[in-house]
């Protein structure tokens, strides 16, 4: 089932971009890893390690770092976008003329663009053209474990089954299971909202919550994902799969999850700015809390967990007050908002 290519360009040298470059090296003659920082590219080539992310991981020989976008993209048969969601549009716009027009584009970024309400595939397609050649990848796959060859799995979604199959063949291995889907919308909604839920889980842990509480937050978070996905016309089964429940469990429970870890720091009183500066990371869930809430409101969808996280991060509400707001809500039907939307669409 595997396939080989001559060159792959990976745009973004964060933890996921670094791990993906290593994963792709098994099937590519060359993996060009684009770094925003020229000094980082030089150090990575000299030491074969990324000093900022996954610093103990030695990159395979086919991986070559570069600060030159033209160098990275020239002759690339596949392009992988691994930049934070807020930087996806400007990065694509800057590199649009350099991306080979026939190359499939795989988006690893997760989120909803603030203002436009667009998902990441839409953002990439806007700037690069050729929506059918763009795919997204999501699932319970922390970079820290993928780079070590530990068993992981993901779902790869594209509106073009041929593009999905081609990329699946490039990525799949005994330790990295890749399943395909055409439900791009559902996969992307799962990837965006689960990061917000993970912040809530982290905050709960920071206040001493037990396993029961985490189970409640995760399952009600899954219902929240389901309502947003249903409102956008996604397949109702997608939130039950790898991109939904699978990634939700990993992100809400793992020590590798920056969103969960940030939630714990938030409970201790640390600000988003301080946490990101200390850890040298972007907390995607903090951005998604704002953009997902705006998207949900535009579609008339209730997202109480997202609303509570947004209130703490952007409205100055105390974490305990936000928790009290959630607990003060009267419980409704377990799957409210999902079955209703499904009936309306039939």
Structure tokens at 268: 């201790």
Phi-psi region of 5 (alpha: psi -120 to 50; beta: other; left: phi over 0): beta
- Distance CA(85)–CA(111), nearest Å, equals 6
DSSP letters of 200-224? HHHHHHHTT--HHHHHHHHHHHHHH
Name the one residue in this structure whose structure tokens are 């870890």.
261
Question: What's 243's DSSP letter?
Answer: I
E-strand stretches of 159-295: 176-181
Taken as a whole, the chain contains a residue count of 346
Which one of the listed residues 7, 110, 150, 194 is annotated catalytic?
Answer: 194
SS (H, E, C) 130-170: CHHHEEEEECCCCHHHHCCCCCEEEEEEECCHHHHHHHHHH
Quote the distance between the C-alpha of residue 168 and its chain's center.
Answer: 18
Structure tokens at 161: 């089954």
Name the one residue in this structure whose structure tokens are 């903090």.
286
- Distance CA(149)–CA(337), nearest Å, equals 40
Structure tokens at 296: 């949900």
Name the one residue in this structure whose structure tokens are 């030695």.
58
Q: Partners of 157 in the beta sheet?
A: 136, 181
Q: Are 308 and 323 in contact (CB under 8 A)?
A: yes
- Distance CA(41)–CA(56), nearest Å, equals 16
- Distance CA(56)–CA(49), nearest Å, equals 7
7 is known as an active-site residue: no
Instruction: Return the active site residues.
Output: 194
């Amino acid at each position: 089932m595997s396939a080989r290519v001559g060159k792959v360009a990976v745009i973004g040298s964060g933890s996921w971009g670094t791990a993906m470059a290593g994963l792709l090296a098994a099937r590519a003659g060359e993996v060009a890893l684009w770094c925003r920082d020229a000094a980082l590219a030089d150090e990575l080539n000299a030491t074969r390690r990324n000093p900022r992310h996954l610093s103990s991981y030695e990159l395979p020989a086919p991986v070559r770092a570069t600060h030159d976008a033209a160098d990275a993209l020239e002759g690339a048969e596949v392009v992988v976008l691994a930049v934070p969601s807020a930087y996806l549009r400007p990065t694509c716009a800057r590199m649009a003329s350099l991306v080979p027009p026939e190359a499939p584009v795989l988006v690893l970024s997760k989120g909803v663009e603030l203002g436009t309400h667009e998902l990441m595939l839409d953002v990439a397609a806007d700037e690069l053209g050729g929506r059918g050649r763009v795919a997204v990848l999501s699932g319970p796959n922390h970079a820290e474990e993928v780079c070590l060859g530990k068993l992981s799995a993901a779902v790869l979604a594209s509106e073009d089954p041929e593009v999905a199959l081609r990329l699946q063949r490039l990525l799949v291995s005994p330790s990295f299971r890749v399943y395909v889907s055409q439900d791009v919308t559902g996969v992307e909604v799962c990837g965006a909202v689960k990061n917000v839920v993970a912040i809530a889980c982290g905050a709960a842990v920071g206040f001493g919550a037990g396993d029961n509480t985490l189970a409640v937050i995760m399952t009600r978070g899954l219902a929240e994902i389901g309502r947003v996905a249903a409102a956008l016309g996604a397949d109702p089964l997608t939130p039950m799969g790898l991109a939904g429940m699978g990634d939700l469990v990993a992100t809400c429970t793992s020590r590798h999850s920056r969103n969960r870890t940030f939630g714990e720091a938030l409970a201790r009183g640390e600000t988003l700015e301080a946490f990101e500066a200390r850890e040298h990371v972007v907390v995607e869930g903090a951005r998604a809390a704002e953009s997902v809430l705006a998207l949900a409101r535009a579609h008339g969808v209730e997202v109480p967990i997202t609303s509570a996280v947004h209130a703490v991060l952007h409205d100055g509400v105390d974490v305990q007050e936000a928790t009290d707001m959630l607990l003060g809500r009267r419980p409704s039907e377990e799957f409210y908002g999902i079955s209703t939307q499904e009936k309306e669409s039939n």
